[in-house]
Amino acid sequence: MTRSGQMPIATPEIYNEMLDRAKAGKFAYPAINVTSTQTLHAALRGFADAESDGIIQISTGGAEFLGGQYSKDMVSGAVALAEFAHIVAKKYPVNVALHTDHCPKDKLDGYVRPLIAVSKERVDAGQNPLFQSHMWDGSAETLKDNLAIGEELLAAATAARIILEVEITPTGGEEDGVTHEINDELYTTVDDALRTAEALGLGEKGRYLLAASFGNVHGVYKPGNVVLRPELLKDLQAGVAEKFGKPSPFDFVFHGGSGSTEEEIATALENGVVKMNLDTDTQYAFTRPVADHMFRNYDGVLKVDGDVGNKKVYDPRSWGKAAEKSMAERVQQACGNLRSTGTKLK
């Protein structure tokens, strides 16, 4: 069903079509991490302004934050924002897929597995899944154990009409407690890719997205500290294609995308990247106008020397609107960098 049918969130069919079009057209969707209803609206607004479909994702830390500091329940936090998104996304003229970001082994039972179960119940009742994809981050495990768990999760996800994302080798830096050193191990080999294809198949066992490593690092670092080699993705595609006879077999994900150069992004797109995660840059874009507001209105947001302050400037809406606008502009910029501007499904 197209957006004219007012489907609030992409159906499994539309999500697959989105990914297929990105692969064929050599563009990618920004995958924007959100932690609140306000950052969700900022992402939706950015996609709408760019006339681009997109992906919105919730990390384990984001879900814990959404669950509230009293219980910090990741599942209820993620489900609550997803249900909210299914309602409010109807007002935006784009297709949006909901995704969960990095989930390591010790959090699977408290996050991804229960969320897959929620979607399976919906699908069994004739509805669409709550989320459209989930990520299994087994990069801290041996590749053997990583792929064994990946096989189990892929089968469960496929039964719930969900796409799985797998990370087979480390991304440097730190995100939500998963930490990897920045070193020469941040590069996936052709052998790693072949073992992945042998374990997870190339579509016959269910669709998955592959987060391969080509020097990726979470966060933003000064020039020269990170050496990205997106041309490596071409070697991975070719190595697996040669053995299995399927051209360009992988749908790649670009992790650690904040701060990447336009040339690095372009090379990644040419080699099969269909999704690029963006978090650090959008966090800064959201927070920057808030800091500006607080500095400029110091004596209004605080009751200085017993004064009453100024309700108009400490009202969260006064700075929240500026934060949403700024983040939306950064999302729109990402759509341009990833060539997804103007590509929304009609």
Residues annotated as part of the active site: 101
- Name residue 214's beta-bridge partners: 187
Four-CA torsion 321, 326, 327, 329, nearest 10 degrees: 120
Q: Residue 167's closest CA among 141, 191, 190? A: 141
Q: Residue 59's closest CA among 143, 185, 176? A: 176
What is the distance, to the nearest Å, from the Cα of residue 19 to the centroid of all Cα atoms in its chain?
13
Contact of 168 with 143, CB cutoff 8 Å: yes
Distance separating alpha carbons of residues 112 and 164, to the nearest angstrom: 10
Q: Which residues of 236-252 are buried (b: 16+ CB within 10 A; e: fewer)?
A: bbebbbeeeeeebbbbb
How far does the chain reach from its first CA to its final CA, in angstroms?
10
H or E element, residue 276: strand 273-278
For residue 266, what are its two tokens?
Answer: 């372009």
Distance separating alpha carbons of residues 274 and 31, to the nearest angstrom: 10
Q: Say which DSSP state 342 is in.
A: T
Distance separating alpha carbons of residues 16 and 97, to the nearest angstrom: 10
3-state secondary structure of 126: coil
Q: Which residues of 157-191 are buried (b: 16+ CB within 10 A; e: fewer)?
A: beebbbbbbbbbbbbbbebbebebebeeebbbbbe
Largest Cα span, the chain: 75
**Complete DSSP assignment for 25-78:** HT--EEEEE--SHHHHHHHHHHHHHHT--EEEEE-HHHHHHHT-TTT--HHHHH
